[in-house]
Structure 1
Amino acid sequence: MKIFYFTGTGNSLYVAKRIGAEVYSIPQMIKEGRYEFEDEAIGFVFPCYGFGMAKMISNYIKKSKFKSNYFFAIMTYGGKSASGLHNMEEIAAKSGIHFNYTNEIMMVDNFLPAFEMESEIKNKSSDEIEKKIVQIEKDISARKNQLIRKGVASDVLSKYVHKIADNVSKNFAYKQIKVNDSCNGCRVCEQVCPANNISVTKTPEFSHHCEACLSCIHHCPQNAMHLKSEKSKARFINPNIQLKEIINANCQVK
Protein backbone atom coordinates (compact mmCIF):
# COMPACT_ATOMS: atom_id res chain seq x y z
CA MET A 1 0.00 0.00 0.00
CA LYS A 2 1.21 3.47 -0.90
CA ILE A 3 0.10 6.78 0.59
CA PHE A 4 0.78 10.18 -0.96
CA TYR A 5 0.64 13.14 1.38
CA PHE A 6 1.01 16.90 1.60
CA THR A 7 1.77 18.53 4.93
CA GLY A 8 2.58 21.95 6.35
CA THR A 9 2.77 21.40 10.09
CA GLY A 10 2.57 17.64 10.35
CA ASN A 11 -1.07 16.59 10.74
CA SER A 12 -1.42 14.84 7.39
CA LEU A 13 2.01 13.24 7.67
CA TYR A 14 1.09 11.88 11.09
CA VAL A 15 -2.15 10.39 9.76
CA ALA A 16 -0.36 8.88 6.75
CA LYS A 17 2.24 7.27 8.99
CA ARG A 18 -0.40 5.94 11.37
CA ILE A 19 -2.35 4.22 8.62
CA GLY A 20 0.76 2.19 7.97
CA ALA A 21 2.14 1.99 4.44
CA GLU A 22 4.86 3.34 2.22
CA VAL A 23 4.49 7.12 2.49
CA TYR A 24 5.41 9.48 -0.33
CA SER A 25 5.68 13.26 -0.06
CA ILE A 26 4.00 14.92 -3.05
CA PRO A 27 6.49 17.84 -3.10
CA GLN A 28 9.36 15.36 -3.17
CA MET A 29 7.72 13.28 -5.91
CA ILE A 30 7.45 16.44 -8.00
CA LYS A 31 11.09 17.29 -7.30
CA GLU A 32 12.16 13.77 -8.34
CA GLY A 33 9.86 13.68 -11.37
CA ARG A 34 8.03 10.54 -10.23
CA TYR A 35 4.51 10.36 -11.62
CA GLU A 36 3.69 6.67 -12.18
CA PHE A 37 2.79 4.25 -9.39
CA GLU A 38 1.06 0.93 -8.97
CA ASP A 39 -0.01 -0.97 -5.85
CA GLU A 40 -2.88 -3.04 -4.54
CA ALA A 41 -4.06 0.00 -2.55
CA ILE A 42 -3.20 3.69 -3.03
CA GLY A 43 -4.25 6.56 -0.79
CA PHE A 44 -3.96 10.32 -0.42
CA VAL A 45 -3.82 12.25 2.85
CA PHE A 46 -4.10 16.02 2.68
CA PRO A 47 -5.29 19.09 4.61
CA CYS A 48 -8.42 21.01 3.71
CA TYR A 49 -7.49 24.33 2.07
CA GLY A 50 -10.42 26.59 1.28
CA PHE A 51 -12.88 23.67 1.10
CA GLY A 52 -10.57 21.81 -1.25
CA MET A 53 -6.95 20.82 -1.60
CA ALA A 54 -3.71 22.67 -2.26
CA LYS A 55 -2.91 23.46 -5.90
CA MET A 56 0.24 21.36 -5.72
CA ILE A 57 -1.81 18.25 -4.97
CA SER A 58 -4.29 18.75 -7.79
CA ASN A 59 -1.52 19.57 -10.28
CA TYR A 60 0.39 16.45 -9.26
CA ILE A 61 -2.63 14.18 -9.61
CA LYS A 62 -3.46 15.62 -13.02
CA LYS A 63 0.03 14.73 -14.29
CA SER A 64 0.26 11.31 -12.65
CA LYS A 65 -0.74 7.76 -13.51
CA PHE A 66 -1.89 5.59 -10.63
CA LYS A 67 -2.95 1.97 -10.96
CA SER A 68 -4.72 0.20 -8.11
CA ASN A 69 -7.78 -1.85 -7.22
CA TYR A 70 -8.49 0.25 -4.12
CA PHE A 71 -8.19 4.03 -3.80
CA PHE A 72 -8.81 6.09 -0.68
CA ALA A 73 -8.53 9.73 0.41
CA ILE A 74 -8.33 11.16 3.93
CA MET A 75 -8.71 14.90 4.56
CA THR A 76 -7.62 16.63 7.75
CA TYR A 77 -9.41 19.84 8.72
CA GLY A 78 -9.82 22.18 11.65
CA GLY A 79 -12.99 24.25 11.26
CA LYS A 80 -15.47 23.31 8.55
CA SER A 81 -14.66 20.67 5.95
CA ALA A 82 -17.68 21.29 3.70
CA SER A 83 -17.15 19.32 0.45
CA GLY A 84 -13.36 19.37 0.45
CA LEU A 85 -13.26 15.69 -0.41
CA HIS A 86 -15.52 16.33 -3.40
CA ASN A 87 -12.78 18.56 -4.84
CA MET A 88 -10.35 15.64 -4.56
CA GLU A 89 -12.82 13.26 -6.19
CA GLU A 90 -13.43 15.59 -9.14
CA ILE A 91 -9.73 16.12 -9.87
CA ALA A 92 -8.85 12.46 -9.38
CA ALA A 93 -11.64 11.28 -11.70
CA LYS A 94 -10.02 13.22 -14.55
CA SER A 95 -6.94 11.03 -14.05
CA GLY A 96 -8.94 7.81 -13.95
CA ILE A 97 -9.03 7.50 -10.16
CA HIS A 98 -12.34 6.49 -8.63
CA PHE A 99 -12.27 6.28 -4.86
CA ASN A 100 -13.51 3.34 -2.88
CA TYR A 101 -13.21 5.10 0.47
CA THR A 102 -13.04 8.69 1.71
CA ASN A 103 -13.06 10.12 5.22
CA GLU A 104 -12.07 13.21 7.19
CA ILE A 105 -10.47 13.97 10.57
CA MET A 106 -10.87 17.12 12.65
CA MET A 107 -7.46 18.18 13.99
CA VAL A 108 -5.74 21.37 15.14
CA ASP A 109 -6.04 24.01 12.42
CA ASN A 110 -2.92 26.11 11.81
CA PHE A 111 -4.59 28.91 9.80
CA LEU A 112 -3.73 31.92 11.96
CA PRO A 113 -6.13 34.45 10.37
CA ALA A 114 -9.07 32.29 11.46
CA PHE A 115 -7.95 30.43 14.59
CA GLU A 116 -6.27 31.14 17.91
CA MET A 117 -3.69 28.43 18.36
CA GLU A 118 -4.09 28.35 22.15
CA SER A 119 -7.79 27.54 21.79
CA GLU A 120 -7.23 25.07 18.97
CA ILE A 121 -4.64 23.10 20.93
CA LYS A 122 -6.74 23.16 24.09
CA ASN A 123 -10.08 22.26 22.52
CA LYS A 124 -9.12 19.59 19.98
CA SER A 125 -9.17 16.29 21.86
CA SER A 126 -6.18 14.08 21.10
CA ASP A 127 -8.25 11.10 22.28
CA GLU A 128 -10.96 11.82 19.72
CA ILE A 129 -8.35 12.25 16.99
CA GLU A 130 -6.77 8.92 17.87
CA LYS A 131 -10.16 7.15 17.89
CA LYS A 132 -10.92 8.48 14.42
CA ILE A 133 -7.52 7.44 13.08
CA VAL A 134 -7.92 3.95 14.51
CA GLN A 135 -11.35 3.63 12.87
CA ILE A 136 -9.96 4.77 9.53
CA GLU A 137 -7.09 2.29 9.85
CA LYS A 138 -9.60 -0.52 10.39
CA ASP A 139 -11.79 0.60 7.49
CA ILE A 140 -8.89 0.71 5.06
CA SER A 141 -7.49 -2.59 6.30
CA ALA A 142 -10.89 -4.17 5.68
CA ARG A 143 -11.04 -2.43 2.25
CA LYS A 144 -14.31 -0.82 3.22
CA ASN A 145 -16.31 0.98 0.55
CA GLN A 146 -17.60 4.33 1.81
CA LEU A 147 -17.72 7.83 0.31
CA ILE A 148 -18.43 10.99 2.30
CA ARG A 149 -21.28 13.00 0.77
CA LYS A 150 -22.37 16.49 1.86
CA GLY A 151 -25.02 17.30 -0.73
CA VAL A 152 -25.28 19.48 -3.83
CA ALA A 153 -25.51 22.80 -1.97
CA SER A 154 -22.31 22.07 -0.07
CA ASP A 155 -20.56 20.95 -3.27
CA VAL A 156 -21.47 24.17 -5.10
CA LEU A 157 -20.49 26.42 -2.18
CA SER A 158 -17.21 24.59 -1.68
CA LYS A 159 -16.31 24.87 -5.35
CA TYR A 160 -16.94 28.63 -5.28
CA VAL A 161 -14.97 29.21 -2.05
CA HIS A 162 -12.10 27.03 -3.22
CA LYS A 163 -11.76 28.93 -6.47
CA ILE A 164 -11.37 32.17 -4.50
CA ALA A 165 -8.90 30.54 -2.10
CA ASP A 166 -6.80 29.27 -5.01
CA ASN A 167 -6.55 32.74 -6.49
CA VAL A 168 -5.58 34.31 -3.17
CA SER A 169 -3.03 31.73 -2.04
CA LYS A 170 -0.35 32.28 -4.70
CA ASN A 171 0.51 35.73 -3.37
CA PHE A 172 -0.40 35.02 0.23
CA ALA A 173 3.11 35.03 1.69
CA TYR A 174 4.27 37.93 -0.48
CA LYS A 175 1.39 40.14 0.66
CA GLN A 176 0.62 38.93 4.16
CA ILE A 177 3.80 37.77 5.92
CA LYS A 178 5.99 40.25 7.73
CA VAL A 179 9.42 39.34 9.11
CA ASN A 180 10.66 41.17 12.20
CA ASP A 181 14.17 41.91 13.43
CA SER A 182 14.47 38.69 15.43
CA CYS A 183 15.06 36.76 12.17
CA ASN A 184 18.61 35.36 12.12
CA GLY A 185 18.56 33.94 8.57
CA CYS A 186 18.55 30.30 9.73
CA ARG A 187 16.74 29.17 6.52
CA VAL A 188 14.28 26.84 8.30
CA CYS A 189 11.41 28.64 6.53
CA GLU A 190 13.07 27.99 3.17
CA GLN A 191 13.56 24.31 3.97
CA VAL A 192 10.00 23.59 5.17
CA CYS A 193 8.29 25.37 2.27
CA PRO A 194 6.72 22.74 -0.04
CA ALA A 195 6.30 25.20 -2.91
CA ASN A 196 9.90 26.48 -3.11
CA ASN A 197 8.41 29.92 -2.55
CA ILE A 198 11.04 31.24 -0.11
CA SER A 199 14.68 32.15 -0.58
CA VAL A 200 16.87 33.39 2.25
CA THR A 201 19.95 35.51 1.94
CA LYS A 202 19.94 37.62 5.07
CA THR A 203 16.17 37.41 5.55
CA PRO A 204 13.36 35.52 3.76
CA GLU A 205 12.14 36.74 0.40
CA PHE A 206 8.82 35.48 -0.93
CA SER A 207 7.81 34.64 -4.47
CA HIS A 208 4.35 34.26 -6.02
CA HIS A 209 3.50 30.57 -5.85
CA CYS A 210 2.62 30.16 -2.18
CA GLU A 211 0.28 27.37 -1.03
CA ALA A 212 -0.68 29.26 2.17
CA CYS A 213 0.22 26.21 4.25
CA LEU A 214 1.90 28.47 6.88
CA SER A 215 4.64 25.92 7.45
CA CYS A 216 7.22 28.72 7.37
CA ILE A 217 5.51 30.72 10.12
CA HIS A 218 4.83 27.83 12.47
CA HIS A 219 8.34 26.38 12.18
CA CYS A 220 10.27 29.64 12.59
CA PRO A 221 12.56 29.07 15.61
CA GLN A 222 12.67 32.80 16.35
CA ASN A 223 8.91 33.42 15.93
CA ALA A 224 10.03 36.14 13.55
CA MET A 225 7.28 35.65 10.95
CA HIS A 226 3.85 37.13 11.48
CA LEU A 227 0.68 37.67 9.49
CA LYS A 228 -1.00 41.04 9.35
CA SER A 229 -4.26 39.42 10.44
CA GLU A 230 -3.12 36.61 12.75
CA LYS A 231 -5.25 35.91 15.81
CA SER A 232 -2.39 34.80 18.05
CA LYS A 233 1.37 34.70 18.26
CA ALA A 234 1.30 31.07 19.41
CA ARG A 235 2.38 28.44 16.91
CA PHE A 236 1.53 24.78 16.24
CA ILE A 237 3.49 21.79 14.99
CA ASN A 238 2.02 18.29 15.31
CA PRO A 239 3.76 16.95 18.45
CA ASN A 240 4.24 13.53 16.86
CA ILE A 241 6.25 14.88 13.93
CA GLN A 242 9.81 16.20 14.03
CA LEU A 243 11.13 19.20 12.13
CA LYS A 244 13.52 17.03 10.13
CA GLU A 245 10.54 15.04 8.82
CA ILE A 246 8.89 18.21 7.52
CA ILE A 247 12.15 19.29 5.90
CA ASN A 248 12.56 15.86 4.28
CA ALA A 249 9.00 16.06 3.01
CA ASN A 250 9.02 19.61 1.71
CA CYS A 251 12.51 20.93 1.00
CA GLN A 252 12.82 21.84 -2.67
CA VAL A 253 16.18 23.61 -2.37
CA LYS A 254 18.94 21.95 -4.38
Structure 2
Amino acid sequence: MRTIIYYFTGTGNSLAAAKTIAAGLSDCELVSIASLRNTPGDIVPPAGRVGIVCPVYDAGLPVIVAAFAHRLSLAGTRYVFGIVTLGGAGGTSALRQLDHILKERNSRGLSAAFDVKMPGNFPPVHRPPEGKEKDGILASADGQLTEIAGRIQKGEQVPVGFSLFAWLMHAATYRFFSGSVHAGDKKFSVSDSCTSCGTCAKVCPVGNITMVQGRPAWQHHCELCCACLHFCPVEAIDLHSMQGTKGRGRYRHPALKIEDMKAQAEGNR
Protein backbone atom coordinates (compact mmCIF):
# COMPACT_ATOMS: atom_id res chain seq x y z
CA MET A 1 0.00 0.00 0.00
CA ARG A 2 1.31 3.43 -0.90
CA THR A 3 1.97 5.64 2.13
CA ILE A 4 2.45 9.39 2.51
CA ILE A 5 3.85 10.74 5.76
CA TYR A 6 3.25 14.43 6.36
CA TYR A 7 5.73 15.87 8.86
CA PHE A 8 6.67 19.05 10.68
CA THR A 9 9.91 19.46 12.63
CA GLY A 10 11.84 22.19 14.43
CA THR A 11 14.89 20.43 15.78
CA GLY A 12 14.76 17.17 13.82
CA ASN A 13 13.12 14.72 16.25
CA SER A 14 9.93 14.42 14.24
CA LEU A 15 11.77 14.23 10.91
CA ALA A 16 13.98 11.46 12.28
CA ALA A 17 10.85 9.67 13.50
CA ALA A 18 9.18 10.03 10.10
CA LYS A 19 12.27 8.66 8.35
CA THR A 20 12.43 5.64 10.64
CA ILE A 21 8.77 4.86 10.04
CA ALA A 22 9.20 5.33 6.28
CA ALA A 23 12.14 2.91 6.28
CA GLY A 24 9.87 0.24 7.73
CA LEU A 25 7.14 0.70 5.13
CA SER A 26 7.11 -0.03 1.43
CA ASP A 27 6.39 2.69 -1.16
CA CYS A 28 6.49 5.57 1.31
CA GLU A 29 6.94 9.29 0.60
CA LEU A 30 7.71 12.10 3.06
CA VAL A 31 5.92 15.41 2.49
CA SER A 32 6.62 18.60 4.47
CA ILE A 33 3.57 20.23 6.05
CA ALA A 34 5.39 23.58 6.00
CA SER A 35 5.77 23.39 2.21
CA LEU A 36 1.96 23.19 1.85
CA ARG A 37 1.14 26.16 4.07
CA ASN A 38 0.47 28.59 1.20
CA THR A 39 -1.21 26.16 -1.19
CA PRO A 40 -4.96 26.70 -1.77
CA GLY A 41 -7.84 24.37 -1.05
CA ASP A 42 -8.09 20.86 0.31
CA ILE A 43 -5.15 18.46 0.55
CA VAL A 44 -6.06 15.10 -0.99
CA PRO A 45 -3.34 12.47 -0.44
CA PRO A 46 -2.81 10.10 -3.40
CA ALA A 47 -2.26 7.18 -1.03
CA GLY A 48 -4.17 4.47 0.78
CA ARG A 49 -2.25 5.05 4.00
CA VAL A 50 -1.45 8.46 5.52
CA GLY A 51 0.64 9.44 8.52
CA ILE A 52 1.10 12.71 10.38
CA VAL A 53 4.27 13.13 12.45
CA CYS A 54 4.98 16.24 14.53
CA PRO A 55 6.15 17.49 17.93
CA VAL A 56 3.93 18.39 20.88
CA TYR A 57 3.61 22.09 21.72
CA ASP A 58 1.82 23.07 24.95
CA ALA A 59 0.11 19.69 25.16
CA GLY A 60 -1.28 20.11 21.66
CA LEU A 61 -0.40 20.32 18.00
CA PRO A 62 1.81 22.96 16.42
CA VAL A 63 -0.60 25.51 14.97
CA ILE A 64 0.65 24.84 11.44
CA VAL A 65 -0.16 21.13 11.88
CA ALA A 66 -3.65 21.83 13.23
CA ALA A 67 -4.34 24.08 10.23
CA PHE A 68 -3.06 21.37 7.89
CA ALA A 69 -5.29 18.73 9.50
CA HIS A 70 -8.34 20.94 8.92
CA ARG A 71 -7.55 20.85 5.17
CA LEU A 72 -6.83 17.14 4.90
CA SER A 73 -9.37 15.14 2.89
CA LEU A 74 -9.25 11.41 3.63
CA ALA A 75 -11.99 10.15 1.31
CA GLY A 76 -9.60 7.86 -0.56
CA THR A 77 -7.52 6.81 2.45
CA ARG A 78 -7.98 3.49 4.28
CA TYR A 79 -5.58 3.87 7.21
CA VAL A 80 -4.45 7.01 9.06
CA PHE A 81 -1.82 7.14 11.78
CA GLY A 82 -0.50 9.91 13.99
CA ILE A 83 2.84 10.02 15.79
CA VAL A 84 3.87 12.82 18.14
CA THR A 85 7.34 13.32 19.59
CA LEU A 86 7.80 14.96 22.97
CA GLY A 87 10.21 15.51 25.80
CA GLY A 88 7.62 15.86 28.55
CA ALA A 89 3.86 15.41 28.83
CA GLY A 90 0.92 16.08 26.53
CA GLY A 91 1.25 13.38 23.90
CA THR A 92 -2.21 11.91 24.35
CA SER A 93 -3.88 15.33 24.36
CA ALA A 94 -2.12 16.32 21.13
CA LEU A 95 -3.21 13.06 19.50
CA ARG A 96 -6.77 13.53 20.73
CA GLN A 97 -6.75 17.02 19.22
CA LEU A 98 -5.59 15.59 15.88
CA ASP A 99 -8.19 12.81 16.03
CA HIS A 100 -10.93 15.35 16.78
CA ILE A 101 -9.94 17.62 13.88
CA LEU A 102 -9.87 14.71 11.43
CA LYS A 103 -13.27 13.50 12.61
CA GLU A 104 -14.74 16.96 12.19
CA ARG A 105 -13.29 17.24 8.69
CA ASN A 106 -13.78 13.66 7.47
CA SER A 107 -16.20 11.91 9.84
CA ARG A 108 -13.32 9.56 10.70
CA GLY A 109 -10.24 9.91 12.83
CA LEU A 110 -6.99 8.12 13.49
CA SER A 111 -6.65 4.40 12.87
CA ALA A 112 -3.59 4.34 15.13
CA ALA A 113 -1.98 6.84 17.50
CA PHE A 114 1.46 6.79 19.10
CA ASP A 115 3.58 9.11 21.24
CA VAL A 116 7.35 8.75 21.38
CA LYS A 117 9.65 10.27 23.98
CA MET A 118 12.63 12.09 22.46
CA PRO A 119 15.01 14.70 23.88
CA GLY A 120 13.14 17.73 25.19
CA ASN A 121 14.31 20.82 23.34
CA PHE A 122 12.32 23.88 24.44
CA PRO A 123 14.97 25.45 26.70
CA PRO A 124 12.59 27.61 28.78
CA VAL A 125 11.05 24.30 29.95
CA HIS A 126 13.58 21.56 29.14
CA ARG A 127 17.32 21.85 29.52
CA PRO A 128 18.23 19.60 26.59
CA PRO A 129 19.88 16.31 27.66
CA GLU A 130 23.47 15.70 26.70
CA GLY A 131 25.92 12.83 26.34
CA LYS A 132 24.82 9.37 27.43
CA GLU A 133 21.42 10.61 28.59
CA LYS A 134 20.62 12.01 25.14
CA ASP A 135 22.02 8.93 23.38
CA GLY A 136 19.93 6.65 25.58
CA ILE A 137 16.71 8.55 24.85
CA LEU A 138 17.40 8.47 21.10
CA ALA A 139 18.24 4.76 21.12
CA SER A 140 15.04 3.96 23.01
CA ALA A 141 13.03 6.08 20.56
CA ASP A 142 14.59 4.31 17.58
CA GLY A 143 13.57 0.95 19.00
CA GLN A 144 10.04 2.14 19.69
CA LEU A 145 9.69 3.64 16.22
CA THR A 146 10.88 0.46 14.55
CA GLU A 147 8.22 -1.44 16.48
CA ILE A 148 5.59 1.15 15.54
CA ALA A 149 6.49 0.83 11.86
CA GLY A 150 5.82 -2.90 12.09
CA ARG A 151 2.44 -2.32 13.70
CA ILE A 152 1.50 0.20 11.02
CA GLN A 153 2.61 -2.18 8.28
CA LYS A 154 0.25 -4.80 9.75
CA GLY A 155 -2.60 -2.30 9.84
CA GLU A 156 -3.10 -2.51 13.60
CA GLN A 157 -5.81 -0.38 15.15
CA VAL A 158 -4.38 1.57 18.08
CA PRO A 159 -6.88 3.88 19.82
CA VAL A 160 -5.91 7.29 21.12
CA GLY A 161 -5.03 7.12 24.79
CA PHE A 162 -6.19 9.44 27.54
CA SER A 163 -4.31 11.16 30.35
CA LEU A 164 -6.21 13.43 32.73
CA PHE A 165 -3.04 15.42 33.43
CA ALA A 166 -2.37 15.97 29.71
CA TRP A 167 -5.99 16.93 29.09
CA LEU A 168 -5.94 19.46 31.94
CA MET A 169 -2.64 20.89 30.72
CA HIS A 170 -4.03 21.25 27.20
CA ALA A 171 -7.17 22.95 28.54
CA ALA A 172 -5.11 25.33 30.67
CA THR A 173 -2.43 26.39 28.18
CA TYR A 174 -3.15 25.51 24.56
CA ARG A 175 -5.71 28.21 23.75
CA PHE A 176 -3.31 30.94 24.87
CA PHE A 177 -0.43 29.30 23.01
CA SER A 178 -2.33 28.92 19.75
CA GLY A 179 -3.69 32.45 19.91
CA SER A 180 -0.34 34.10 20.59
CA VAL A 181 2.22 31.86 18.89
CA HIS A 182 2.65 33.88 15.68
CA ALA A 183 3.66 36.97 17.65
CA GLY A 184 5.70 34.90 20.09
CA ASP A 185 8.81 35.81 18.12
CA LYS A 186 8.74 39.20 19.82
CA LYS A 187 10.40 37.43 22.75
CA PHE A 188 13.45 36.46 20.68
CA SER A 189 16.57 38.61 20.85
CA VAL A 190 19.95 38.50 19.15
CA SER A 191 23.18 39.45 20.89
CA ASP A 192 26.25 41.26 19.59
CA SER A 193 27.93 37.87 19.09
CA CYS A 194 25.81 37.41 15.93
CA THR A 195 28.10 36.80 12.94
CA SER A 196 25.48 37.61 10.27
CA CYS A 197 25.77 34.08 8.89
CA GLY A 198 22.03 33.91 8.10
CA THR A 199 21.63 30.34 9.35
CA CYS A 200 18.54 31.29 11.35
CA ALA A 201 16.77 32.52 8.21
CA LYS A 202 17.77 29.41 6.26
CA VAL A 203 16.37 26.93 8.78
CA CYS A 204 13.07 28.64 9.61
CA PRO A 205 10.40 26.30 8.21
CA VAL A 206 7.88 29.09 7.58
CA GLY A 207 10.16 31.83 6.25
CA ASN A 208 9.61 33.98 9.32
CA ILE A 209 13.12 35.47 9.45
CA THR A 210 14.73 37.97 7.13
CA MET A 211 18.21 39.41 7.49
CA VAL A 212 18.20 43.18 7.97
CA GLN A 213 21.59 44.86 8.04
CA GLY A 214 23.15 41.50 8.82
CA ARG A 215 20.88 40.65 11.74
CA PRO A 216 17.75 38.48 11.97
CA ALA A 217 14.37 40.21 11.97
CA TRP A 218 11.32 38.13 12.86
CA GLN A 219 8.19 38.73 10.80
CA HIS A 220 5.50 37.61 13.28
CA HIS A 221 4.18 34.45 11.66
CA CYS A 222 6.27 32.28 13.97
CA GLU A 223 5.48 28.66 14.92
CA LEU A 224 7.82 28.80 17.95
CA CYS A 225 9.70 25.73 16.72
CA CYS A 226 12.95 27.37 17.93
CA ALA A 227 14.99 26.14 14.97
CA CYS A 228 16.59 29.60 14.77
CA LEU A 229 17.66 29.38 18.40
CA HIS A 230 19.05 25.85 18.22
CA PHE A 231 20.88 26.18 14.89
CA CYS A 232 22.68 29.46 15.64
CA PRO A 233 26.36 28.43 15.61
CA VAL A 234 27.34 30.99 18.26
CA GLU A 235 24.16 30.84 20.40
CA ALA A 236 23.48 34.50 19.72
CA ILE A 237 19.70 34.02 19.80
CA ASP A 238 17.74 33.80 23.05
CA LEU A 239 14.05 33.43 23.88
CA HIS A 240 12.90 35.48 26.85
CA SER A 241 10.09 33.32 28.20
CA MET A 242 9.72 31.66 31.61
CA GLN A 243 13.28 30.70 32.61
CA GLY A 244 14.69 32.03 29.36
CA THR A 245 17.29 30.25 27.26
CA LYS A 246 20.61 31.83 28.09
CA GLY A 247 22.97 29.17 29.36
CA ARG A 248 20.33 26.46 29.12
CA GLY A 249 21.85 24.52 26.22
CA ARG A 250 20.87 23.90 22.63
CA TYR A 251 19.75 20.79 20.79
CA ARG A 252 19.10 19.37 17.38
CA HIS A 253 18.80 15.76 16.36
CA PRO A 254 22.30 14.50 15.48
CA ALA A 255 21.17 13.48 11.98
CA LEU A 256 19.55 16.85 11.17
CA LYS A 257 21.30 19.21 8.73
CA ILE A 258 20.62 22.73 7.52
CA GLU A 259 19.75 21.23 4.13
CA ASP A 260 16.97 19.18 5.78
CA MET A 261 15.40 22.33 7.21
CA LYS A 262 15.65 24.17 3.90
CA ALA A 263 14.04 21.18 2.18
CA GLN A 264 11.22 21.24 4.72
CA ALA A 265 10.39 24.86 3.93
CA GLU A 266 10.67 24.41 0.17
CA GLY A 267 9.19 20.92 -0.13
CA ASN A 268 12.30 19.49 -1.85
CA ARG A 269 12.55 16.10 -0.13
Does the alignment reach a TM-score above 0.5?
yes
Structure 2 residue 68 is the aligned partner of structure 1 residue 56: no
Aligned equivalent of 2:239: 227
Structure 2 residue 188 is the aligned partner of structure 1 residue 180: no
Output the TM-score relative to the length of structure 2: 0.86
Q: Cα distance, 1:57 vs. partner?
A: 1.0
Point out the more displaced range, 215-224 or 23-32. 23-32
Q: Cα distance, 1:157 vs. partner?
A: 4.1
In 2, Cα distance between the equivalents of 1:120 and 1:58?
34
Q: Cα distance, 1:150 vs. partner?
A: 1.1
Aligned equivalent of 2:29: 22
Indicate if the aligned counterparts of 2:119 and 2:129 stay in contact, CA closer than 8 A: no
The letter for the 2-side match of 1:148 is V
Indicate if the aligned counterparts of 2:117 and 2:137 stay in contact, CA closer than 8 A: no
Question: Taking structure 1 as reference, are residues 239 and 250 closer, same or farther at Cα in structure 2, changes over 3 Å only?
Answer: same
Question: Taking structure 1 as reference, are residues 155 and 171 closer, same or farther at Cα in structure 2, changes over 3 Å only?
Answer: same
In 2, Cα distance between the equivalents of 1:206 and 1:251?
19
Match for 1:87 among 97, 101, 106?
97
Aligned to 2:37, the other structure's residue is in SS state helix
* Sequence identity (%): 25
Aligned equivalent of 1:247: 262
Indicate if the aligned counterparts of 1:112 and 1:232 stay in contact, CA closer than 8 A: no
Aligned equivalent of 1:8: 10
Q: Cα distance, 1:153 vs. partner?
A: 6.6
Structure 2 residue 209 is the aligned partner of structure 1 residue 204: no
Indicate if the aligned counterparts of 1:79 and 1:106 stay in contact, CA closer than 8 A: yes
Indicate if the aligned counterparts of 1:77 and 1:107 stay in contact, CA closer than 8 A: yes
Indicate if the aligned counterparts of 1:76 and 1:107 stay in contact, CA closer than 8 A: yes
Aligned equivalent of 1:77: 86
In 2, Cα distance between the equivalents of 1:120 and 1:159?
35
In 1, Cα distance between the equivalents of 2:148 and 2:96?
18
Point out the more displaced range, 94-103 or 163-172. 163-172
Q: Cα deviation per residue 1:141-188 (whole Å; 9 max; x = unaligned)?
A: 1111011321567435423321122123222221x2110112122222
The letter for the 2-side match of 1:68 is T
Indicate if the aligned counterparts of 2:89 and 2:166 stay in contact, CA closer than 8 A: no
| 1:7-156 → structure 2 map (5 Å cutoff) | 7-20=9-22, 21-31=28-38, 33=40, 35-66=43-74, 67-81=76-90, 82-96=92-106, 97-118=108-129, 122=133, 125-151=137-163, 154-156=166-168
Aligned equivalent of 1:216: 228
Output the TM-score relative to the length of structure 1: 0.90
The letter for the 2-side match of 1:85 is L
Indicate if the aligned counterparts of 1:83 and 1:150 stay in contact, CA closer than 8 A: yes
Q: Cα distance, 1:68 vs. partner?
A: 0.5
In 2, Cα distance between the equivalents of 1:37 and 1:211?
24
Q: Cα distance, 1:140 vs. partner?
A: 0.5
Give the superposed CA RMSD: 2.1
Indicate if the aligned counterparts of 1:77 and 1:106 stay in contact, CA closer than 8 A: yes
In 1, Cα distance between the equivalents of 2:193 and 2:162?
45
The letter for the 1-side match of 2:254 is P
Unaligned regions of 5+ residues in structure 2, if any? 23-27
Point out the more displaced range, 79-88 or 32-41. 32-41
In 2, Cα distance between the equivalents of 1:242 and 1:185?
19
Indicate if the aligned counterparts of 1:109 and 1:120 stay in contact, CA closer than 8 A: no
Match for 2:173 among 151, 161, 172?
161
The letter for the 2-side match of 1:44 is I
Aligned residue pairs, count: 251
The letter for the 1-side match of 2:261 is I
